[in-house]
């Protein structure tokens, strides 16, 4: 645990309670390493953020905005309440409390540049290239298949558009999928695409291959192939699970675009797929489920008010929950996912308490932390909307808002990858998890 004292200009760094150094917080020594590690993946020239944060001057010029965005936990985009629920994620990009304190201290004490020899060497950031795939960085491998939606031109001013074309996958043999990523084709098209849904059109005889037998009677559809919304990256399945693509299959897209006051010609989105090696069949099938929270038409948000909606789902077979990804629009404020176990115990799994509609972050649980839910567990989803002026993303607090497809309408649902398990496999995973847990000293 690292803590900084409040003495002006001086950082008193305590490790396990004992002061080991007393020195001013400087850019070179303390702040630059954090910026390199947590910001430059997006804040580099040519990457997705509007400005680079590389040099002392870059960061100093944005001091006020950094104080605001970092202080409110808007940047880096990780809007989870870290004090509750599961703590381990595969894609955690948040700042620790100590890192936030260091940045704030530096801002409060005159933004000292520090000594040139303290400056860490520049880092090459793998994912900074907006035409690169984030999953390629994680897997160390380019995608095996990339499909593009047909081009669509968006006028400078027009209603939101939902474009639903179909594309052949060109597959000639069955393949298991280990990761999928969607992105607007160019940095420009990121400005007009709100979401992309992809459905895999294919016929699987005799139900879903490798779906746990216990789930066959209640999970008859494969769910969506992949969902993407502003701010999301890829979906990397656990190493024992995946999705099946068959020869002759087709992708049906739903691309939601909106006008930005300038004609945007021939906009496209891309779908990248990484396969398991030929012949490798993961033992489990994951299903992307959409858990509706707002119960559709029940969403009713009067002007200048907040609203809460809730929905409940009973798991009819044992399951592992791989991720949590809330979906709301401009008035979205928070969403949580809790489990009520068959023995009545209630547990918060995850809560996104600082939702930002431009960032549909997918919180992907670490393998050892993905919740294992016994049959009969009830999942409770709760969503909060804020239609008051205190929500900085609210375009007009005087409007009544209800459920609808446009970004100025509202929604509330969660995208969750569910891996159903048969009872013996579930018991085995629970026992393995118990054995791995370190005894409390």
For the beta carbon of residue 147, count every other beta carbon within 10 angstroms: 19
Judged by beta carbon, residue 31 or residue 211, the one nearer ligand HEC is: 31
150 DSSP assignment: P
Residue 329 lies near ligand HEC (rule: CB under 6 A) = no
Instruction: List CB contacts of 244: < 8 A, sequence separation 6 or more.
Output: 174, 175, 176, 177, 204, 208, 209, 210, 285
CA atoms of 426 and 241, how far apart (whole Å): 14
x/- track of binding to ligand HEC for residues 7-46 (CB under 6 A) = -------------------------------xx-xxx---
Of the candidates 49, 259, 366, 408, which one interacts with ligand HEC according to CB under 6 A? 49
CA atoms of 394 and 53, how far apart (whole Å): 28
Residues 79-108 binding ligand HEC (CB under 6 A) are 93, 95
Q: How far is the CB of 107 from ligand HEC (least distance, A)?
A: 11
Residues 358-397 binding ligand HEC (CB under 6 A) are 358
Q: How far is the CB of 51 from ligand HEC (least distance, A)?
A: 6
Judged by beta carbon, residue 214 or residue 236, the one nearer ligand HEC is: 236
Task: Tell me the site size for ligand HEC, rule CB under 6 A.
Answer: 19
Judged by beta carbon, residue 42 or residue 196, the one nearer ligand HEC is: 42
Judged by beta carbon, residue 70 or residue 214, the one nearer ligand HEC is: 70
Of the candidates 24, 33, 77, 397, which one interacts with ligand HEC according to CB under 6 A? 77
x/- track of binding to ligand HEC for residues 156-185 (CB under 6 A) = ------------------------------
CA atoms of 368 and 259, how far apart (whole Å): 43
Four-point Cα dihedral 245, 180, 383, 190, nearest 10: -130
CA atoms of 122 and 100, how far apart (whole Å): 21
Q: How far is the CB of 111 from ligand HEC (least distance, A)?
A: 13
Q: For residue 314, what are the CA distances in angstroms to 202, 291, 298, 427?
A: 28, 11, 21, 19
Q: In 64-192, which ranges are E strands?
A: 145-148, 152-154, 161-163, 166-168, 175-184
Judged by beta carbon, residue 75 or residue 299, the one nearer ligand HEC is: 75
The β-bridge relationship of strands 306-314 and 378-386 is antiparallel
Judged by beta carbon, residue 59 or residue 337, the one nearer ligand HEC is: 59
Q: Dump the DSSP string for 210-243.
A: T--GGGTTT--S-BBSEEEETT--EEE--TTEEE
Judged by beta carbon, residue 353 or residue 393, the one nearer ligand HEC is: 393
3-state helix, strand, coil in the chain (%, to 5): 15, 35, 50
Q: How far is the CB of 179 from ligand HEC (least distance, A)?
A: 18
Residue 69 lies near ligand HEC (rule: CB under 6 A) = yes
CA atoms of 278 and 160, how far apart (whole Å): 41
Instruction: List CB contacts of 398: < 8 A, sequence separation 6 or more.
Output: 303, 304
Q: How far is the CB of 340 from ligand HEC (least distance, A)?
A: 34
Q: How far is the CB of 284 from ligand HEC (least distance, A)?
A: 29
CA atoms of 255 and 154, how far apart (whole Å): 12
Judged by beta carbon, residue 69 or residue 313, the one nearer ligand HEC is: 69
Q: How far is the CB of 226 from ligand HEC (least distance, A)?
A: 19
Residue 73 lies near ligand HEC (rule: CB under 6 A) = no
Residue span binding ligand HEC (CB under 6 A) among the ranges 64-72, 246-254, 324-332, 400-408: 64-72
Judged by beta carbon, residue 24 or residue 77, the one nearer ligand HEC is: 77
Q: How far is the CB of 323 from ligand HEC (least distance, A)?
A: 17
- How many Å is the maximal CA-CA distance in the chain? 70
Please name the helix (run of DSSP H) or strand (run of DSSP E) that holds residue 300, with its range, or none: strand 300-301
Residue span binding ligand HEC (CB under 6 A) among the ranges 4-12, 47-55, 150-158, 207-215: 47-55
Chain contacts with ligand HEC (rule: CB under 6 A): 38-39, 41-43, 48-50, 62, 65-66, 69-70, 75-77, 93, 95, 358
């Amino acid at each position: 645990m690292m803590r900084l004292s409040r003495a002006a200009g001086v950082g008193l760094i305590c490790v396990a309670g004992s002061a080991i150094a007393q020195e001013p917080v400087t850019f070179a020594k303390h702040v630059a390493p954090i910026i390199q590690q947590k910001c430059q993946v997006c804040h580099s020239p040519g990457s997705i953020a509007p400005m680079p944060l590389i040099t002392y001057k870059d960061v100093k010029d944005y001091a006020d905005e950094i104080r605001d965005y970092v202080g409110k936990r808007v940047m880096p985009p990780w809007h989870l309440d870290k004090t509750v629920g599961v703590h381990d994620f595969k894609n955690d990009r948040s700042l620790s409390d100590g890192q936030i304190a260091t940045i704030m201290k530096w801002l409060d004490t005159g933004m000292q540049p520090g000594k040139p020899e303290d400056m860490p060497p520049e880092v090459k950031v793998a994912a900074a290239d907006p035409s690169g795939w984030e999953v390629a960085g994680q897997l160390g491998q380019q995608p095996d298949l990339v499909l593009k939606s047909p081009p669509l031109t968006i006028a400078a001013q027009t209603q939101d558009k939902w474009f639903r074309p179909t594309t052949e996958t060109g597959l000639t043999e069955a393949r298991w999928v280990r990761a999928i990523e969607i992105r607007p084709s160019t940095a420009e098209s990121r400005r007009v695409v709100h979401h992309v849904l992809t459905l895999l059109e294919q016929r699987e005889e005799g139900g879903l291959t490798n779906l746990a037998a216990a789930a066959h009677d209640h999970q008859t559809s494969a769910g969506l192939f992949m969902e993407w919304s502003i701010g999301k990256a890829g979906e990397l399945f656990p190493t024992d699970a995946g999705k099946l693509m068959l020869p002759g299959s087709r992708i049906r897209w739903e691309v939601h675009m909106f006008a930005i006051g300038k004609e945007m010609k021939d906009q496209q989105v891309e779908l990248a797929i990484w396969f398991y090696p030929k012949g490798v069949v993961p033992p489990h099938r994951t299903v992307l489920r959409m858990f509706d929270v707002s119960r559709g038409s029940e969403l009713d948000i009067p002007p200048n008010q907040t609203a809460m909606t809730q929905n409940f789902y009973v798991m009819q077979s044992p399951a592992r929950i791989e991720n949590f990804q809330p979906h709301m629009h401009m008035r979205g404020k928070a969403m949580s996912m809790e489990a009520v176990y068959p023995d009545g115990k209630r547990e918060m799994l995850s809560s996104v308490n600082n939702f930002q509609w431009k960032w549909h972050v997918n919180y992907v649980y670490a393998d050892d932390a993905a919740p294992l839910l016994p049959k009969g567990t009830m999942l409770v989803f709760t969503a909060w909307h804020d239609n008051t002026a205190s929500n900085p993303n609210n375009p007009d607090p005087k409007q009544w808002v209800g459920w609808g497809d446009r970004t100025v309408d509202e929604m509330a649902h969660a995208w969750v990858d569910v891996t159903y398990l048969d009872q013996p496999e579930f018991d085995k995973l629970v026992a393995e998890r118990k054995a791995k847990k370190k005894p409390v000293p």
